[in-house]
Amino acid sequence: MESTWLVGSSAGGKLALEAAVEVPHRVKGLILIAPAVGGAPPTRDEDVDPETQTIDELLTRADERGDLDELNRLEVRLWLDGPREREGRVSTSVRDLVFAMNKVALVNNVPESSDSDVDTWSRLGELSIPAIVACGEFDALHVIRRSEVVAGLIPGATYVSLEGVAHLPYLENPSQSGAIIRSSI
């Protein structure tokens, strides 16, 4: 394969961006959903909404206690429901799937991001490929803001706010995420 479109969400978005800046001739375009970005400035406390701060504090306490069930519940609350939305907002079938997948990651102590040290943030302006950066309207506010900034730093990129979903839009509303992918590629 000479080149292809890459689709990545969160930490997967970070990997897609790293590929795009490291081997640009292999990447035809990007679809990024709430991407993490290597080299991005650290999130300042004042940029994090109060609801996310509260959940982060509860996550820290659950982690200190080694309470995997509570960690799982809080992470699903944060990433699936969205920190400013009511817990349990998303349907039972999707919720059960996310609980199960997240539990596997927690039990196996899977790191949340790669150990890569690629400073993608400072190189976003080098990209000369089509790019869409999307983020769920119910995601954490600092993630929404970072996604908007990423779209602004990639020349010609488009930002899309995904209505009615949080950090995992492809699980909450697969047809909405699929439509963005199909219309881009």
What percent of the chain has pLDDT above 70?
98
In angstroms, the CA 175 to CA 179 distance is 6
Query: CA-CA distance, 138 to 162, in Å (whole number)?
Result: 9
| CB within 8 Å of 81: residues ≥ 6 apart | 87, 88, 89, 90, 138, 166
The values of phi and psi at residue 59, to 5°, are: -60, -45
Neighbouring-strand partners of residue 27: 4
- Could you give the CA distance from residue 17 to residue 174 in angstroms, rounded to a whole number? 22
- Give me the domains of the chain, ranges plus CATH numbers: 4-42+119-184 (3.40.50.1820), 45-107 (no CATH)
Q: Identify the pLDDT of residue 144.
A: 97
pLDDT of residue 41: 93
- For the segment 100-156, what is each residue's pLDDT rounded down to a tens digit? 999 999 999 887 766 678 899 999 999 999 999 999 999 999 999 999 999 999 999
pLDDT digits (tens, 9 = 90+) for 43-98: 988 889 999 999 999 999 999 999 999 999 999 999 999 999 999 999 889 999 99
The pLDDT value recorded for residue 174 is: 95
